[in-house]
Amino acid sequence: MSSLRPCPHRPPCPGCPRFGEHDVAPAARAWLEQFARAHALPEPPLNLSSALGHRHRARLAVRGRATNPRIGLFQAGSHRIVATPHCAVHHPAINAAAEDLREAIRETGVAPYADDTHRGAIRYVQLAVERPTGRLQAVLVGRGASPDCLGELPAAFAARLGPRLQGLFYNAQPDRTNAVLGETTIALAGEPALHERIGGVDVFFPPTAFGQNHLPLFDRAVERIQTLVPAAAQVVELYCGVGAIGLGLLARGASVELNERGHGGLEGLALGLAVRPAAEQARARILEGPAEAHAERAAGAEVVIVDPPRRGLDRGLLEVLAATPPERLVYLACDRTSLARDLEVLMASGRLAPRGLEAFDFFPFTDHVESLVWLDRTR
């Protein structure tokens, strides 16, 4: 039985389908245990953390009317909004900032977006908390090509946040689409990137860079990955984002090649690398572009680290890793279906064998679980 109070937003909020359950989803647990048994691995540890207030990052839709804006999530399969002012899994600073935005919209009279008519100005807000300071990075997503469409809203919102504001940005999404962010992001106030400490190093998250929502548990995953990399190893990390994993390996005397394709990720990676000592910078090499474009760098490498999106490894990279495996492959996966599919290809020849498996509950109260598996070359 759960000791949590019932969530005031469920139903119909779809955000936490297993709200109150203090374990990973049964299907995820069953897959982990079955994989471990099939490959004679120890029972996989389940890394859990407090679910309440864990989300340090959120993207919320803004709908309704200027006199009564609603900020929250869409109901499943619709554009009907569920306002979530008291979300228990959001960091409290996110809930407070969402309320500040709601009041700023009412104050300025800026119209929220309407999906059916493709009218209105403010479409979404992205909020992220900087843990060392508790300040907020905020991205206002509008329908116009420039922040002018929001009128006085950015200034009113910034004034309400006051010293809690870390950085304020405008993202232009003029298209009739379900994609949250458009291609253009404009800095309005504050600092250019969130500044975090992960894996023992400074890590920077510009507003368009991918960031984990559960940073305390992600810290633990990064520390675990560091223990899997021998000192002075030559490392190739693909899908590295802002370098939250790889930058911390430079101090070990390793050479680290860091691959990323996204502009925000590359921007954050450059910021993180710039504050490392000169000796560490000399051991780093940035590989821009799709991961499979640099697959040859992973062929036969000492250590390869991959943290791909939900779809799993790019096909070209997967084929190279299977044909010419590294001495060790460390795979952090957010989707067990794509992970299982990739592992089947990687292990088909018998040249890569799994040596360990762990789970990290980055998404409490959902059916998802992050899996960390490492494989060694057998011959």
Residues 220 and 172 both lie in one domain: no
Does residue 132 share a domain with residue 179?
A: yes
C-alpha Rg value of the chain to the nearest Å: 22
Residue 13 covered by a domain:
no
pLDDT at 253: 81
3-state secondary structure of 192: coil
Question: Are residues 310 and 224 located together in one domain of the fold?
Answer: yes
Same domain, 171 and 272: no
User: Are residues 351 and 368 located together in one domain of the fold?
Assistant: yes
Give residue 1's pLDDT.
36
User: Do residues 123 and 142 lie in contact, with contact meaning Cβ atoms separated by under 8 Å?
Assistant: yes
Q: Do 139 and 74 belong to one domain?
A: yes
Residues 39 and 118 in one domain: no
Residue 7: per-residue pLDDT? 94
pLDDT at position 3? 62
Q: In this structure, are 47 and 68 located in the same domain?
A: no
**Residues present in the chain in total:** 379
- Tell me how far apart the alpha carbons of residues 177 and 253 are, in angstroms, rounded to a whole number: 46
User: Is 5 part of any domain?
Assistant: no
Domain of 81: which CATH number? Answer: 2.40.50.1070
* DSSP state string for 230-297: -TT-EEEEES-TTTTTGGGGGGGT-EEEEEE--HHHHHHHHHHHHTS-HHHHHTEEEEES-GGGGHHH
Q: How many distinct helices (H) and strands (E) make up the chain?
A: 9, 17
Element (H, E) at 333: strand 328-333
Kindly report the backbone phi and psi dihedral angles of residue 63, in degrees, each rounded to the nearest multiple of 5, phi listed first: -140, -170
Divide the 379 residues of the chain into consecutive groups of 10 and give the mean pLDDT of each group.
Answer: 78 92 90 97 93 95 98 92 96 98 98 97 98 98 98 98 98 96 98 97 98 94 97 96 98 93 98 98 98 96 97 97 97 96 97 97 93 96
Place of tokens 């709601």: 102
In a domain, 19, yes or no: no
The CATH number covering residue 39 comes to 3.40.50.150
Number of domains in the chain: 2
Q: What is the pLDDT of residue 265?
A: 98
Burial, 61: exposed, middle or buried (Cβ in 10 Å; 0-12, 13-18, 19+)? buried
- Domain residues for the domain of 155 are 57-191
Let me know whether 230 and 345 are in one domain: yes
In a domain, 197, yes or no: no
